[in-house]
C-alpha cells in the first residue's frame, strides 16, 4: 500500500500546485504589468475636425452689466451706463436703468436704434462741488454709423457731441436725468455684440438669392446660428421689404444644433413642396458664413425628419447650385481688342467670339454681356444714340434694340432684360427695360433718378440690387437701390448712397463684385470697395485705368499707357498684373490692344 | 364552524390583525425554510459578505478614479489659468495707444480695435479657450465702471459669493479653487471648477482689484465618471451574483450527499433495514456513506438477533402454556374430585380444597390469557368480522358483569343512543374488551356508579366506561395496558384479574384498527374509551366520544379561568389524543 500511495500523492500535489502557480503568475502580471496604456497598437478613434470650427458661432467676449456703485463720480456713472448699454444679457436693460434717475428711467426707450461712435472722450464743464445738484458730462467723438431697429447698419459721418445731464439723488448719488433714446455704443461694443450677418432671401421669381446685410445682436442664451436663423425667419429688412420673397412664412425656429457633422435646423412647420429647395438654399447661404462652407445641413420639423420617409439633407454648397450667379467660379471674361469682342481663353490668350460681334465693334465703349446660356452682347453706338445687341453665336448680327438722345452704357440683368438709361438733358433720366427679344420695353419708375443725371446703371447679378452713378452739385456719387416688380410695374426704390460725392470727384466706372459689394473707379485713379453696410474702403490706386469689371473676387481693369497702347490687368490683392497674352507670349501694352473687360452681368 | 356567518364585515383592526398574522406566518415559513436549508444559509451568508466586500471595494475604487480624474483636469485648468493671467496682465499694463496694435495669440487681427484693454484681453482669452467650451473666463474690477467682462455664454452667477470673499482676504496672485455648479445663460447647469485669483499687479500702475475667474465645466468628466460608476455597480452586482452561484454550486456538491444520507437514515428509522447509500469516490462524504452502510448493516444484524431472541421467548411461553395444560388437566380432575368431596373432609382440608379450586380457576384463566396473548405475539390472531349493533354487544357485556357488580354493590348507568349503531367487528372480541373494561371499572369503582356511554358518527363508533374510583396517576394512562401491570402492588386482587386483560383488550382494539385509550385523574376516577371504525379496515380519524369526561373538562376550564391557583390537578391529564 505505501508503495502505491506514494506516487499518487505526488501526482495530486502537482495537480494542485500547477493552477495555484498559474493564478499567482496572472495576479503578478495584473498588478505589476509595465503599462496600462497599450503600446504598439493602432487607434481608430476619430474626432471632429477642430479646424472646421464650430458652425454655431465663435467664442466671444461680452460686457456684463453691473449696477452703479456708491460714491461714483458723474463720469464713472456715465461710463457704467455706457457699459450697461453694451451688455447683451440684460435684454430689458434693467441694470442700465439703475444708472438713470427714477423718473427718467421710466421714459428712456433703449429700442429706437443704435448710434455707433468712435473715440469717445468726456468733456467736462466745471469741477463739481459738494453742494452741486446738477452736473453735465459730454461724450465727444466721431459718429460713424446708425443701426436701425430692423438691424440695418448705415454708415454715417459727423462729430458726436452727446451731453448727459446728471442729478444728485436724495441719497447723494449721481444719476443720469437726461440721455438720448436708443443705445449709444462704441465701435468696439458693436464689433463685439452686433456682428454683421448676411441674410439671404429670394428674388421675385424665387430663383436667385438676394443678400440682406444686417447686424444681429448676440444672444448669450442661444448660439449665434440660432440667433441668425431666427433673424432670417423674421424677414428682410426694410430696404428689401418689397423686392424679395422668403420661403419661410409663418414658420418658427425651435433650435439649431449639430449632429453627425451636420448643422441641424429644427423648424416648427413645413413649407410648400415647391419651396423646399429655395428654403434649403436660403438656410445654406445664410449660415455659410458661420459654417465656412464645411458643414452640411439637415432641416427637421419638431425634432423629426422633414419628409416622413426621408430626412431633408442640404448640401453645404446648396446656395451655389441653387443660384449659379452667387458664386459662379471660373467664368472667362470678355474684352474688346482689335475690331471686335474677344473671350479670354486658356493660357490667357483671347479668341474672337463667334458672330458679328467678334469681327466688328460699335465703338470703343464698354460692352455688356448677358447672363443667359446663349450669351448676347450689348453695346452703345459711338454717337450714344442707340444700343445694339448681337448674339454670341455663329451668324449673330448686330441689331438695334434701343434708341435715345444720350444713352448710358447698357446693363443686362439675370432675367435677360436689358436696362437702358437715356438722358435727354442734364436733369432728366429715362430708365427703360427691354425684354429678351428686344421687342417689348417698359418704362421703369424711379422717382429719385428721373430728375437727376444718371451716368451709369448696373444691375447686380442677384437681379434685385441696382447701382447707379448719379451726378449732383458736388460731383458724382454711387447709389444702390432695389428693383421692385416686373415689366411695366418695375420701379427702383430704397436708393441709398454708398459712395458720397466730394469736391467734384467723378466716378469713372462701377462694377458689381457680388450681391453686396461693388467696386467704384474714381477719376483720381482710386479704386473703392463700397457696400450699403460699410464705409467705402480704398482698395488701392491704379493709374490710367479706364474701366473695371469684377466677378466673385476677381477684379479686372482696362488700362492704357501714354502712347495709347492698351492692356488688361488683374488685381492680386496687393498689385496689378498684366493679364492678356499676345500671340508672341508677351503681355505688353499694344496699340488697339485689350480694353474694356467685361464679365457676364454685373 | 358553520359557514353562515363567514361573510361578516371586518373592522380595520381585524384586517390589520389578519395582515399581521399572515405576515408572521409568512415570516415563520421563511425562517423555517431558512433554518432547514443549509444551502440557502450558505448562499445567503456568502451574498451578504460579498456585498459588503464589493461595496467597500467599489466605493474605494470610485473615490480613487474620481480624485485622479478631477486632479488631472484641475491641474490642466490651473496651468491654463496662469498663462491666461500673464496674457491679461500684458494687455492691461501696456499703454492704451499700443493696445490696438497688440496681436492676438492666434496671430489674428483683433476685431474691435479701439476696444478697452480689458475687452481685448477677454476676447483673446475667449479665442484661446476655443469654441469647444473648454472653459469660460470672467474678468472684473468692481471699483471701475464698465470693467466686467465674460466670455461667450457664462453667467456670472456661477461665481460663489464665498469664493469672492475668500479672494479678497487672500493676497493678489493667490488662487482659490472651488467646485461649484456653473450656470450658462439660457442653458442647463453643469458641475465645474472655478479657479479665481486677483491679478498680481505689483510693478505696474494698475490697482489690485482685478479678479479673474476660470470656469471649467466638468460635464465630460461627469459623464465619464457616471459611466464608470454604472459599470462598477453592474460589475459588483454581477460579481455578487456570481459568488452566490458559486457558493450555491459548491454547497450543492456537499449538501446533496448529506441530503441523500438523511433520507436513507429516515428510511432506516422507518424500519427499512436494507436501505444503503451509494459509495462514490473516496472523499469524506464517501467515507460517511461507507460508515452509514456499516452502521445500517450492524443495526440490521442486531435487530435480527433480537427478533430471533424474542421469537424464541414467545415460542417458549407458548410451549410452556401448552405443556402446562396437560398436567393441569390432570390436576384439575383430581382437584374437582377433592372439591366435590370436600364436605366429607375436616374443615381444614375442605378449606384447602376450596382454595385449590379457586387458584386452579385462576391458573386456567391465566393460561388461557397467556395462550391468547402468545397468539397475538405470533401474529396468529384473526378477526371474524360481522356487522353488529354495538348497543347489543354492550348490553351483553353488561349482562355478563351484573353478578360481579352486584357483589360490589355497583350500579351501571347506561347511556345508549336511540338508533342502532352498526359497525363491522368481531363481536366476540369486542365483547371481551368491554367485559374487561367493565370488570376493571367495577374493581376500581369502589362501589360507585359505572357510566357506560355509546356514541357513533359517520365513520366511527365509541364506547366509554367511566368509574369514579381513585383514578389514575399522571403517566399511568398508558401503563395500564402493560402486561401484569398493577396500579397499587399492595392492593389485593379482589376479582382475581390475570393482569393481562387490558393488554389483550388493547391488542384486540388494534386488531380492529381502533383505539383503546385511558384517562384518569387522582380522585376523579377514570375512563376508558374504545373507538372503532364503522367499516373494517378503514383508518380511524377521530372518536365520537371525548376521552376526558365532559363534566371534568368543563369544571377544569371553569376553574382554570376563575382561580388558576386552586387547580393543581389541571396540570396533568386531559390530553386528548385526537
Any bridge partners for residue B441, and if so which? none
User: B261: distance to nearest CA of chain A, Å?
Assistant: 28
Q: Domains in chain A, start-ordered, CATH in brackets?
A: 19-23+65-193 (3.10.450), 201-323 (no CATH), 342-598 (2.120.10.30)
Please answer whether residues B66 and B267 qualify as being in contact, where contact means their C-beta atoms are separated by less than 8 angstroms.
Answer: no
Whether residue A525 has pLDDT greater than 90: no
Whether residue A243 has pLDDT greater than 60: yes
Whether residue B413 has pLDDT greater than 50: yes
How far does Cα B19 stand from its chain's mean position?
19
Dist CA A181 CA A158 (whole Å)? 19
Q: What are phi and psi of A14, to 5 degrees?
A: -60, -40
Query: Is B130 part of the contact surface with chain A (CB cutoff 8 Å)?
Result: yes
Q: pLDDT tens digits, residue range B542-558?
A: 889 888 888 888 888 88
- pLDDT value for B567: 41
Closest CA to B471 of B506, B492, B440: B440
Please answer whether residues B183 and B189 qualify as being in contact, where contact means their C-beta atoms are separated by less than 8 angstroms.
Answer: yes
Whether residue A43 has pLDDT greater than 80: no
- To test the contact with chain B by mutation, choose from A5, A62, A65 the residue with the greatest count of B C-beta atoms within 10 A, namely A62
Query: Is B215 part of the contact surface with chain A (CB cutoff 8 Å)?
Result: no
Closest CA to B443 of B365, B393, B362, B498: B498
Residues of chain A with Cβ-Cβ distance to B115 below 8 Å are: 186, 188, 191-192
Which one is predicted more confidently, A223 or B578? Answer: A223
- To test the contact with chain A by mutation, choose from B143, B146, B157, B210 the residue with the greatest count of A C-beta atoms within 10 A, namely B146
Computed over every residue of chain A, the mean pLDDT equals 84
Residues of chain B with Cβ-Cβ distance to A226 below 8 Å are: none
Please answer whether residues A350 and A344 qualify as being in contact, where contact means their C-beta atoms are separated by less than 8 angstroms.
Answer: yes
Q: Which three cell numbers stand for residue A527?
A: 479704386
Whether residue B493 has pLDDT greater than 70: no
Q: What are phi and psi of A411, to 5 degrees?
A: -145, 135
- To test the contact with chain B by mutation, choose from A49, A61, A84, A263 the residue with the greatest count of B C-beta atoms within 10 A, namely A61
Buried b (16+ CB within 10 A) or exposed e, A515-526: bbbbbbbbeeeb
Q: What is the 3-state secondary structure (H, E, C) of A57-70?
A: CCCCEEECCCCCCC
How far does Cα A600 stand from its chain's mean position?
21
Mean pLDDT of B362-380: 82
Q: pLDDT tens digits, residue range A148-197?
A: 888 888 888 888 888 888 888 888 888 998 888 888 888 888 888 899 99
Mean pLDDT of A94-108: 89
Give the three-state DSSP class for A559.
Answer: strand
Contacts of residue B244, Cβ cutoff 8 Å, sequence gap at least 6? B43, B46, B47, B50
Q: Which of B138, B152, B156 sits opposite A59 (nearest CB)?
A: B152
User: A187: distance to nearest CA of chain B, Å?
Assistant: 7
Least confident residue range of B191-195, B229-233, B236-240, B378-382 = B378-382
Q: Do A79 and B146 touch (CB under 8 A)?
A: yes
Query: Is A196 part of the contact surface with chain B (CB cutoff 8 Å)?
Result: no
Please answer whether residues A299 and A314 qualify as being in contact, where contact means their C-beta atoms are separated by less than 8 angstroms.
Answer: yes
pLDDT level of residue B94 (50, 70, 90 thresholds): confident
Whether residue A430 has pLDDT greater than 80: yes
Q: Which of A62, A82, A219 sits opposite B146 (nearest CB)?
A: A82
Q: Do A59 and B145 touch (CB under 8 A)?
A: no
Q: Which of A83, A188, A222 sits opposite B186 (nearest CB)?
A: A222
pLDDT level of residue B498 (50, 70, 90 thresholds): confident
Residue of chain B whose Cα is closest to the Cα of A119: B114
Torsion, Cα B538 B541 B547 B552, to 10 degrees, reads -150
Mean pLDDT of B35-46: 87
Closest CA to A105 of A160, A73, A68, A151: A68
- pLDDT value for B452: 92
Q: pLDDT tens digits, residue range B421-455?
A: 899 998 888 998 998 899 888 888 888 889 999 99
Q: Which three cell numbers stand for residue B125?
A: 482669452
User: B48: distance to nearest CA of chain A, Å?
Assistant: 26
Mean pLDDT of A131-142: 84
Q: Do B145 and A72 touch (CB under 8 A)?
A: yes
Query: Is A73 part of the contact surface with chain B (CB cutoff 8 Å)?
Result: no
Q: Which three cell numbers stand for residue A344?
A: 479670354
User: A242: distance to nearest CA of chain B, Å?
Assistant: 34
Q: Which three cell numbers stand for residue B489?
A: 402492588
Computed over every residue of chain B, the mean pLDDT equals 83
Residue of chain B whose Cα is closest to the Cα of A191: B112
Query: Is B109 part of the contact surface with chain A (CB cutoff 8 Å)?
Result: no
Query: Which DSSP symbol is given to B571?
Result: G
Query: Is B116 part of the contact surface with chain A (CB cutoff 8 Å)?
Result: yes
User: B40: distance to nearest CA of chain A, Å?
Assistant: 29
User: A96: distance to nearest CA of chain B, Å?
Assistant: 11
User: Where do we find the cell 499676345?
Assistant: A582
Whether residue B3 has pLDDT greater than 70: no
Output the DSSP codes for B549-568: -HHHHHHHHHHHHH-GGG-G
Query: Is B150 part of the contact surface with chain A (CB cutoff 8 Å)?
Result: yes
Q: Which three cell numbers stand for residue B199?
A: 491679478
Q: pLDDT tens digits, residue range B507-554?
A: 888 888 899 999 988 888 899 999 999 988 888 888 898 888 888 888
Dist CA A95 CA A107 (whole Å)? 15
Mean pLDDT of B118-145: 81
Residue of chain A whose Cα is closest to the Cα of B185: A221
Mean pLDDT of A280-306: 88
Q: pLDDT tens digits, residue range B384-410?
A: 888 999 999 999 999 988 888 888 888
Dist CA B180 CA B158 (whole Å)? 7
Q: pLDDT tens digits, residue range A168-178?
A: 888 888 899 88
Q: pLDDT tens digits, residue range B298-314?
A: 988 998 899 899 888 88
- pLDDT value for B571: 40
Q: Which three cell numbers stand for residue A142?
A: 466721431
Whether residue B2 has pLDDT greater than 80: no
Q: Which of A61, A65, A69 sits opposite B123 (nearest CB)?
A: A61
- pLDDT value for B530: 92
pLDDT level of residue A9 (50, 70, 90 thresholds): very low
Buried b (16+ CB within 10 A) or exposed e, B367-388: bebbebbbbbbeeebebeeeeb
Least confident residue range of A102-111, A568-577, B88-97 = B88-97
Q: Do A222 and B156 touch (CB under 8 A)?
A: no
Q: Do B119 and A80 touch (CB under 8 A)?
A: no
* CA–CA–CA angle B37, B42, B45 (5° rounding): 125
Please answer whether residues B132 and A57 qualify as being in contact, where contact means their C-beta atoms are separated by less than 8 angstroms.
Answer: no
Query: Is B293 part of the contact surface with chain A (CB cutoff 8 Å)?
Result: no
Q: Do A61 and B187 touch (CB under 8 A)?
A: no
- pLDDT value for A582: 81
- pLDDT value for A457: 92
Query: Which DSSP symbol is given to B437?
Result: H
Dist CA A166 CA A177 (whole Å)? 5
Q: Do B145 and A62 touch (CB under 8 A)?
A: no
Whether residue B20 has pLDDT greater than 90: yes
User: B241: distance to nearest CA of chain A, Å?
Assistant: 22
Least confident residue range of A69-73, A449-453, B132-136, B142-146 = B132-136
Dist CA A547 CA A565 (whole Å)? 15
- pLDDT value for A200: 93
Q: pLDDT tens digits, residue range A490-524?
A: 899 888 888 888 777 888 899 998 888 999 988 88
Residues of chain A with Cβ-Cβ distance to B189 below 8 Å are: none
Amino acid at each position: 500500500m505505501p508503495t502505491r500511495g506514494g506516487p499518487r500523492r505526488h501526482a495530486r500535489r502537482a495537480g494542485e500546485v500547477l493552477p495555484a502557480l498559474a493564478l499567482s503568475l496572472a495576479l503578478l502580471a495584473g498588478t505589476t504589468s509595465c503599462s496600462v496604456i497599450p503600446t504598439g497598437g493602432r487607434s481608430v478613434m476619430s474626432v471632429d475636425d477642430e479646424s472646421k470650427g464650430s458652425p454655431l458661432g465663435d467664442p466671444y467676449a461680452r460686457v456684463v452689466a453691473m449696477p452703479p456703485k456708491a460714491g461714483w463720480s458723474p463720469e464713472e456713472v456715465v461710463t457704467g451706463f455706457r457699459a450697461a448699454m453694451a451688455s447683451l444679457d440684460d435684454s430689458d436693460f434693467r441694470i442700465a436703468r439703475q444708472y438713470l434717475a427714477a423718473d427718467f428711467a421710466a421714459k428712456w426707450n433703449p429700442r429706437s436704434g443704435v448710434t455707433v461712435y468712435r473715440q469717445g472722450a468726456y468733456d467736462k464743464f466745471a469741477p463739481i462741488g459738494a453742494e452741486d445738484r446738477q452736473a453735465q458730462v459730454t461724450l465727444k467723438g466721431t459718429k460713424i454709423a446708425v443701426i436701425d431697429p430692423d438691424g440695418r447698419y448705415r454708415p454715417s459721418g459727423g462729430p458726436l457731441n452727446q451731453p448727459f445731464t446728471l442729478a444728485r439723488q436724495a441719497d447723494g448719488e449721481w444719476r443720469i436725468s437726461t440721455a438720448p433714446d436708443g443705445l449709444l455704443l462704441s465701435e468696439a461694443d458693436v464689433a463685439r455684440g452686433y456682428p454683421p450677418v448676411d441674410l439671404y432671401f429670394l428674388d421675385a421669381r424665387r430663383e436667385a438669392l438676394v443678400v440682406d446685410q444686417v447686424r444681429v445682436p448676440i444672444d448669450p442664451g442661444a448660439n449665434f446660428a440660432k440667433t441668425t436663423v431666427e433673424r432670417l425667419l423674421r424677414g428682410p429688412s426694410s430696404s428689401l421689404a418689397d423686392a424679395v420673397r422668403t420661403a419661410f412664412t409663418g414658420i418658427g425656429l425651435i433650435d439649431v444644433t449639430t449632429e453627425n457633422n451636420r448643422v441641424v435646423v429644427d423648424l416648427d412647420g413645413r413649407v410648400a413642396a415647391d419651396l423646399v429647395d429655395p428654403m434649403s438654399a436660403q438656410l445654406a447661404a445664410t449660415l455659410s458664413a458661420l459654417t465656412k462652407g464645411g458643414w452640411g445641413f439637415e432641416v427637421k420639423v419638431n425634432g423629426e425628419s422633414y419628409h416622413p420617409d426621408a430626412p431633408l439633407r442640404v448640401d453645404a454648397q446648396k446656395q451655389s447650385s441653387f443660384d449659379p450667379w452667387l458664386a459662379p467660379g471660373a467664368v472667362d471674361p470678355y474684352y474688346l481688342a482689335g475690331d471686335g469682342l474677344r473671350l479670354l481663353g486658356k493660357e490667357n490668350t483671347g479668341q474672337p467670339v463667334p458672330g458679328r460681334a467678334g469681327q466688328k465693334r460699335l465703338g470703343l465703349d464698354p460692352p455688356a454681356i448677358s447672363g443667359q446660356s446663349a450669351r448676347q452682347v450689348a453695346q452703345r453706338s459711338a454717337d450714344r444714340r442707340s444700343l445694339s445687341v448681337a448674339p454670341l453665336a455663329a451668324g449673330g448680327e448686330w441689331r438695334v434694340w434701343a434708341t435715345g438722345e444720350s444713352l448710358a452704357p447698357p446693363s443686362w440683368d439675370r432675367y435677360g432684360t436689358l436696362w437702358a438709361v437715356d438722358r435727354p438733358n442734364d436733369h432728366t433720366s429715362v430708365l427703360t427695360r427691354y425684354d429678351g427679344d428686344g421687342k417689348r420695353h417698359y418704362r421703369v419708375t424711379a422717382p429719385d433718378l428721373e430728375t437727376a443725371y444718371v451716368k451709369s446703371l448696373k444691375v447686380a447679378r442677384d437681379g434685385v440690387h441696382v447701382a447707379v452713378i448719379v451726378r449732383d452739385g458736388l460731383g458724382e456719387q454711387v447709389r444702390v437701390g432695389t428693383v421692385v416688380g416686373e415689366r411695366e410695374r418695375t420701379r427702383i426704390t430704397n436708393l441709398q448712397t454708398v459712395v458720397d460725392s466730394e469736391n467734384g470727384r467723378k466716378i469713372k466706372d462701377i462694377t458689381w463684385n457680388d450681391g453686396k459689394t461693388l467696386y467704384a473707379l474714381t477719376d483720381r485713379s482710386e479704386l473703392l470697395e463700397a457696400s450699403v453696410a460699410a464705409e467705402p474702403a480704398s482698395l488701392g490706386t491704379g493709374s490710367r485705368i479706364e474701366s473695371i469689371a469684377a466677378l466673385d473676387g476677381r477684379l479686372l481693369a482696362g488700362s492704357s499707357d501714354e502712347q495709347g497702347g492698351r492692356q488688361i490687368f488683374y488685381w492680386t490683392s496687393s498689385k496689378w498684373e498684366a493679364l492678356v497674352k499676345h500671340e508672341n507670349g508677351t503681355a505688353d501694352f499694344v496699340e488697339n490692344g485689350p480694353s474694356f473687360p467685361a464679365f457676364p452681368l454685373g | 364552524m358553520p359557514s353562515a356567518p363567514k361573510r361578516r364585515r371586518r373592522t380595520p383592526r381585524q384586517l390589520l390583525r389578519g395582515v399581521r398574522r399572515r405576515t408572521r406566518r409568512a415570516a415563520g415559513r421563511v425562517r423555517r425554510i431558512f433554518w432547514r436549508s443549509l444551502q440557502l444559509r450558505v448562499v445567503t451568508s456568502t451574498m451578504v459578505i460579498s456585498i459588503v466586500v464589493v461595496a467597500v471595494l467599489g466605493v474605494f475604487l470610485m473615490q480613487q478614479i474620481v480624485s485622479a480624474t478631477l486632479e488631472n483636469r484641475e491641474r490642466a485648468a490651473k496651468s491654463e489659468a496662469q498663462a491666461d493671467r500673464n496674457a491679461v496682465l500684458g494687455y492691461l499694463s501696456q499703454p492704451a495707444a499700443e493696445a490696438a496694435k497688440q496681436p492676438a495669440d492666434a496671430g489674428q487681427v483683433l476685431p474691435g480695435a479701439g476696444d478697452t484693454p480689458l475687452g481685448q484681453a477677454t476676447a483673446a482669452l475667449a479665442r484661446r479657450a476655443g469654441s469647444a467650451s473648454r472653459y469660460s473666463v470672467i474678468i472684473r474690477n468692481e471699483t471701475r465702471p464698465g470693467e466686467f467682462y465674460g466670455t461667450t455664454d457664462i453667467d456670472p452667477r456661477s461665481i460663489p459669493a464665498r469664493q469672492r470673499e475668500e479672494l479678497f482676504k487672500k493676497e493678489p496672485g493667490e488662487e482659490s479653487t472651488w467646485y461649484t455648479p456653473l450656470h450658462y445663460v439660457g442653458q442647463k447647469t453643469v458641475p465645474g471648477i472655478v479657479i479665481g485669483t486677483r491679478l498680481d499687479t505689483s510693478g505696474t500702475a494698475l490697482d489690485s482689484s482685478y479678479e479673474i475667474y476660470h470656469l471649467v465645466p466638468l460635464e465630460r468628466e461627469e459623464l465619464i465618471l457616471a459611466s464608470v460608476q454604472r459599470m462598477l455597480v453592474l460589475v459588483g452586482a454581477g460579481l455578487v451574483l456570481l459568488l452566490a452561484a458559486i457558493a450555491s454550486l459548491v454547497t450543492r456538491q456537499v449538501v446533496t450527499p448529506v441530503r441523500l444520507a438523511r433520507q436513507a437514515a429516515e428510511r432506516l428509522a422507518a424500519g427499512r433495514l436494507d436501505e444503503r447509500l451509494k459509495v462514490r469516490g473516496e472523499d469524506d462524504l464517501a467515507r460517511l456513506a461507507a460508515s452509514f452502510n456499516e452502521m445500517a448493516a450492524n443495526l440490521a444484524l442486531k435487530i435480527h438477533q433480537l427478533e430471533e431472541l424474542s421469537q424464541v421467548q414467545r415460542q417458549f411461553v407458548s410451549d410452556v402454556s401448552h405443556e402446562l395444560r396437560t398436567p393441569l388437566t390432570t390436576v384439575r380432575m383430581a382437584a374437582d374430585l377433592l372439591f366435590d368431596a370436600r364436605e366429607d373432609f375436616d374443615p381444614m382440608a375442605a378449606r384447602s380444597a376450596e382454595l385449590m379450586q379457586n387458584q386452579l380457576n385462576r391458573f386456567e384463566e391465566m393460561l388461557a390469557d397467556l395462550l391468547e396473548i402468545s397468539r397475538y405475539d405470533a401474529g396468529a390472531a384473526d378477526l371474524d368480522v360481522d356487522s353488529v349493533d354495538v348497543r347489543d354487544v354492550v348490553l351483553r357485556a353488561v349482562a355478563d358483569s351484573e353478578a360481579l357488580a352486584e357483589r360490589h354493590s355497583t350500579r351501571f348507568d347506561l347511556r345508549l343512543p336511540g338508533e342502532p349503531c352498526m359497525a363491522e367487528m368481531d363481536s366476540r372480541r369486542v365483547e371481551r374488551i368491554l367485559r374487561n373494561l367493565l370488570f376493571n371499572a367495577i374493581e376500581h369503582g369502589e362501589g360507585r356508579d359505572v357510566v357506560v356511554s355509546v356514541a357513533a358518527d359517520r365513520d366511527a363508533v365509541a364506547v366509554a366506561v367511566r368509574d369514579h374510583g381513585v383514578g389514575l396517576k399522571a403517566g399511568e394512562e398508558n401503563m395500564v395496558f402493560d402486561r401484569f401491570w398493577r396500579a397499587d402492588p399492595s392492593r389485593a386482587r379482589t376479582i382475581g384479574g390475570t393482569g393481562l386483560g387490558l393488554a389483550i383488550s388493547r391488542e384486540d382494539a388494534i386488531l380492529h384498527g381502533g383505539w383503546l385509550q385511558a384517562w384518569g385523574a387522582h380522585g376523579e376516577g377514570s375512563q376508558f374509551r374504545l373507538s372503532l371504525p364503522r367499516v373494517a379496515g378503514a383508518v380511524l380519524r377521530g372518536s365520537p366520544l371525548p376521552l376526558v369526561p365532559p363534566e371534568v373538562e368543563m369544571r377544569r376550564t371553569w376553574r382554570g379561568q376563575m382561580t388558576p391557583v386552586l387547580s393543581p390537578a389541571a396540570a396533568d391529564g386531559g390530553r386528548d389524543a385526537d
